[in-house]
Structure 1
Amino acid sequence: MFIAMAVAGTSLGKAKGPIVDPALCRCCRSIKKCRLLSSEYEWLGKKEVYSDMLMDCFGLLLSHLDGEPKDSGVCATCVGRLREAVAFRQQVLQSEQAFLDARLENKDEVPLVETKVKVEPVPDSDASVGGHDDDQDYEPECKVEIELKSESPEKRKKTRPRPLVLKKRSKRELFDRALALQDKLDELLDQGPPSPPKKLKAQKRTPDDHDHMVYHNTITIVLNSYVCPFHNRISNYYCYYCRDQFTNPVELREHTLVHKPSMFESMTENKKIPKIDITRIDCRLCPAKIETLEDFKQHVSSVHNKKIFPVQNEFLKFKLTLDNIKCTECNSSFPYFDSLKKHMIEHFGTFICDQCGACFLEQNSLRTHIKSHNKVEANFPCEICGKNLKSKYSRYLHVATVHEKKPTVNCYKCDSSFLSYALRNRHLIEVHGDKRTFPCKLCDKVYNRRKTLMEHNRRNHLKVYRHQCDLCDQRFYLPSRLKEHMATHTGERNFRCEFCDKCYPRLQSLQEHVRSHSSDRRYKCDICNATFTQNGSLKSHMKSHHQFELNANFG
């Protein structure tokens, strides 16, 4: 577990403050990257403390917020929902205040409140010096006119509109004040956008302008098209907005449509390349059917007057399918999404390790990799069984699942929890009717987990044996098998039978021997129905008793 400081600027809507990864979200009980409930963050120029927001909005006082940081988190999804709730509460309070003010002014008759919003760009003092850059938003002066109407025309004439001019404020405060008037504001904007102030002098671009243009294009494409942003882990797809898990990309795309794309901007992590499915691109603003991103950029710019900067490759593009997935750049085909994601490094990997030449898509991934070159072997022993774990969090999970038998694997369709992923998969099949069968395309094996299928392919078909013996040419898939193999060179017999003290160099040999002490006679002769505890005993039996029958059948 580590705590990092978010460094993204407020101009892009990122919150400044400590980040804990991983941590427990106290609002949805998911374990992921979280912010701290009791810490102060800066977002869009305003300070916010999420525990205070929960108290002000819902009257909820959460306990034990001064304990471990990993137990006092709130994830980005819940932060977005909390902000929406606070904004809605402010909207209701403002509407109620406007109603009471109008009621006090006219006690005899309940008036109707009609609100007119005018957005007038007023150049400030800075405009007279250097002007406004086209890439930088300016602060307009927002004029709100509140006019009281009654059913009597005579009273309507006597009532004068009361202009309320809001001086230059932060974007967030303007947004909060105008939230209740959003519908009428949209109608006015549709009639024609206000002309921006004249640019008196062009300013030089900063080094971060390219990142800003990429970010702006990404937001514009997601908000105005039907592309599908997503997360992934071990070839499973997760909804970008609520983290629901899917194995079928068609179901992922259908589910994503229930979310508002406006949430994308507040949830996007700066400096991290998003993954977006472009199987369907069509325009959200009109019925136009569009096939490519370049056509969409041209369409949304020329037809809908949206600002599009002249940059490309704003994000990683995929066309997700249930079977083989093709690379959108070179049309190469891959059986699993993880294989395709690693392949994308060949096209977009720009961050290279100076020590080993490894290439990465993001600078953060390169930094994590560089730390592995100077990695000090972590040692976090379990106090109960003595097993060494990689980190404190790994030790916590080990104690919770192995010794305390606490369910830590949550079902993403209900509130059930389980001790292992295998038990959760069985629950998904039996309770929710999921069809979780993953057949191997190269043999007749079928598995209930995609990860198990991937390991089967790597071990049996791709022959990914990374662990080689230093004394011979044999290679192994697991380091434990290499360790067992080394006993054949050293003569060590570290696996002792607890019944008869016989020792064996391999664990599998010991397990087969232990069956001789039990009634587990799983090996059966097909000719005479004799049973044996070990496969070697069955082979010896076949050679000594049925050699004639074997020669007659296969001779």
Structure 2
Amino acid sequence: MKPKKSTKVIIPFCFVGKHQLTVKTEITEDTKKSNFRNEVKKTVNKPTKTETVKVKKPTINITMDKGLFKTIKNPRSTPIFEKDKHCNNFEVVLAHSTATPIRNHNGFAYTCIYCTEHFKHPADLKTHTLMKHDNRDDRRKFMKTQTSGGYLLKLDITMLKCTICDTNIDTLEGLFDHLQNEHKKLIYTDIKNQIVPFKFDGEELKCAICPRVFTTYKVLLGHMRSHYRNYVCEVCDYGCFNRKLMLTHKKSHKTGSFECNTCSKVFETLQKMRQHSYTIHKFKSMPAKCTVCNERFKSFPIKDQHMISVHGMKPVVRKCLACDKVFPTQFALRIHTKKDHLMERDYKCEECEMKFFSKEQLKFHMLKHTGQKDFQCDVCLKWFTRKYVLSEHMRIHMNDRRYKCLQCGRGFVQKCSWRGHMRSVHGETDNSVLY
């Protein structure tokens, strides 16, 4: 009895990853007969262990689309790097708001971040940026030059608006929330925010976060570190915007012997050695540079006066808000505020309970306890504890009697001697100095 023909057709499939490939199988009539004979041999004549069975494999023709592997390719999910997250946030904020970036301020004008053009007023820079650089190509070109460790974006958020729905927004954080919640824009919040906002509402430079007012953009930028303490020094609690600035700062704490390659002077820190090299050797004791004409000056107050008289820069009035005193530099104003108004006294004497503002003041005070005399007169070989006392003593040898009594005409070398004369001889009680 002939066995019935099998109607079962086995269609092979090929899998690549999770995707199934469609395989075109061509089974000819000869192939069907061959398969039938093989099935009969397997069921009727089972071979022994020493016998071998030769089975003719069917001919299968497989055709595939050449572009198929591009669609079914399943690479491993790659992590998103920190720079890519910064780049995304940068693109989303600038593409969908009126915020404009600032490269820097050279003391005279603000610089465009894309083409380095200069503008005296930040409003002119904003108009220039929105008109000429409101495109993705310029933004991508800028981000290519950035690194995740040194990335810092200074952003002008004056009159900030969302360009999608024209909504007015006050803060940078409010813009982030608005773009995420209202327009479903992707903004990465798992990275440290290195976008620093600035507002230029009036003539005064105000902090965009707290109510403090500043005289220069440079000082305002330094103040913004107190709001963006992304990286904090474990030695002195100094806060920085990014890792690059923190690594530079940490070098100031490394002490040792750092020798200048030019004059062989030795410094205790690398920062002091580099500052010496730049100031003395590279800039020839002319550290202050005019950013307009590149002329150099011995000090920054002289440079500021040059900017005012030659280039028409508006004079900077560094006025103390507490006592109305005016100072030539921002550093002098800051020292005055800490010393006279905040009453900072961080240096304490170990022998008594007195405290001092500076290390030099404490060192000067310690001479009262040690009695150390380091200054000697070349004429009489007398020793003194302080240099200014030696200078007053030298007037004795030069017969410099600069303090005159207006009543009898007698002169005195020291002021204390003149006062004693006025009290004992003339009965004077007025402590004012009369020459």
TM range (shorter): 0.5 to 0.7
Which residue type is aligned with residue 265 of structure 1? M
Give the secondary structure class of the aligned counterpart of 1:379. Answer: strand
> Match for residue 276 of structure 1?
155
Is the counterpart of residue 222 in structure 1 residue 87 in structure 2? no
Q: Could you tell me how far apart the structure 1 residues matched to 2:355 and 2:381 are?
A: 30
Is the counterpart of residue 474 in structure 1 residue 354 in structure 2? yes
Q: Relative to structure 1, is the Cα distance of residues 337 and 293 closer, same or farther in structure 2, using a 3 angstrom cutoff?
A: closer
**Residue correspondence of structure 1 range 183-194 to structure 2 within 5 A:** none
Unaligned runs of 5+ in 2: 1-66
- The CA deviation string for residues 146-167 of structure 1, in whole angstroms up to 9 with x for no partner, is xxxxxxxxxxxxxxxxxxxxxx
> Match for residue 299 of structure 2?
420
2:143 paired residue among 250, 256, 265:
265
1:352/1:358 contact within 8 Å kept:
yes
Which residue type is aligned with residue 494 of structure 1? D
Q: Could you tell me how far apart the structure 1 residues matched to 2:342 and 2:106 are?
A: 18
**Residue correspondence of structure 1 range 430-469 to structure 2 within 5 A:** 430-434=309-313, 435-469=315-349
> Match for residue 53 of structure 2?
none
Which residue type is aligned with residue 410 of structure 1? K
Q: Could you tell me how far apart the structure 2 residues matched to 1:301 and 1:125 are?
A: 36
Q: Could you tell me how far apart the structure 2 residues matched to 1:407 and 1:225 are?
A: 43
Which residue type is aligned with residue 220 of structure 2? F
Displacement, 1:269? 4.2
Displacement, 1:438? 0.9
Q: Could you tell me how far apart the structure 2 residues matched to 1:363 and 1:253 are?
A: 31
Computing the radius of gyration from Cα coordinates, the structure with the larger value is 2
Q: TM-score, normalization: structure 2?
A: 0.58
**Residue correspondence of structure 1 range 284-295 to structure 2 within 5 A:** 290-293=169-172
> Match for residue 495 of structure 1?
375
Which residue type is aligned with residue 466 of structure 1? D
> Match for residue 73 of structure 2?
129
Displacement, 1:496? 3.7
1:397 paired residue among 278, 281, 293:
278
> Match for residue 206 of structure 1?
79
Q: Relative to structure 1, is the Cα distance of residues 212 and 386 closer, same or farther in structure 2, using a 3 angstrom cutoff?
A: closer
1:282/1:288 contact within 8 Å kept:
yes
Give the secondary structure class of the aligned counterpart of 1:378. Answer: strand
Give the secondary structure class of the aligned counterpart of 2:256. Answer: coil
2:121 paired residue among 242, 245, 251:
251
1:317 paired residue among 197, 204, 210:
197
2:96/2:163 contact within 8 Å kept:
yes
Q: Could you tell me how far apart the structure 1 residues matched to 2:392 and 2:68 are?
A: 85
Q: Could you tell me how far apart the structure 2 residues matched to 1:274 and 1:352 are?
A: 22
1:382/1:388 contact within 8 Å kept:
no
- Range that drifts further, 355-364 or 484-493: 355-364
Is the counterpart of residue 376 in structure 1 residue 255 in structure 2? yes
Q: Relative to structure 1, is the Cα distance of residues 292 and 420 closer, same or farther in structure 2, using a 3 angstrom cutoff?
A: closer
> Match for residue 290 of structure 2?
411
**Residue correspondence of structure 1 range 23-102 to structure 2 within 5 A:** none
Displacement, 1:351? 5.6
Which residue type is aligned with residue 352 of structure 2? C
Q: Could you tell me how far apart the structure 1 residues matched to 2:173 and 2:264 are?
A: 59
- The CA deviation string for residues 81-109 of structure 1, in whole angstroms up to 9 with x for no partner, is xxxxxxxxxxxxxxxxxxxxxxxxxxxxx
1:417/1:424 contact within 8 Å kept:
yes
Give the secondary structure class of the aligned counterpart of 2:197. Answer: strand
Count of aligned positions: 345
Q: Relative to structure 1, is the Cα distance of residues 289 and 509 closer, same or farther in structure 2, using a 3 angstrom cutoff?
A: same
Displacement, 1:231? 6.7
Q: Relative to structure 1, is the Cα distance of residues 517 and 397 closer, same or farther in structure 2, using a 3 angstrom cutoff?
A: farther
Q: Relative to structure 1, is the Cα distance of residues 484 and 451 closer, same or farther in structure 2, using a 3 angstrom cutoff?
A: same
Give the secondary structure class of the aligned counterpart of 2:281. Answer: helix
Which residue type is aligned with residue 275 of structure 1? K
Give the secondary structure class of the aligned counterpart of 2:155. Answer: strand
**Residue correspondence of structure 1 range 349-364 to structure 2 within 5 A:** 349=230, 353=234, 361-364=241-244
Displacement, 1:225? 4.0
Between Structure 1 and Structure 2, the one with more strand by share is 1
1:231/1:275 contact within 8 Å kept:
yes
1:493/1:506 contact within 8 Å kept:
yes
> Match for residue 19 of structure 2?
none
Which residue type is aligned with residue 278 of structure 2? L
> Match for residue 486 of structure 1?
366
Q: Could you tell me how far apart the structure 1 residues matched to 2:394 and 2:317 are?
A: 33
Q: Relative to structure 1, is the Cα distance of residues 539 and 351 closer, same or farther in structure 2, using a 3 angstrom cutoff?
A: same
**Residue correspondence of structure 1 range 151-162 to structure 2 within 5 A:** none
CA root-mean-square deviation? 5.1
**Identity over the aligned pairs, expressed in percent?**
25
Q: TM-score, normalization: structure 1?
A: 0.48
Q: Relative to structure 1, is the Cα distance of residues 399 and 534 closer, same or farther in structure 2, using a 3 angstrom cutoff?
A: farther
Q: Relative to structure 1, is the Cα distance of residues 325 and 292 closer, same or farther in structure 2, using a 3 angstrom cutoff?
A: closer
- Range that drifts further, 383-392 or 232-241: 232-241
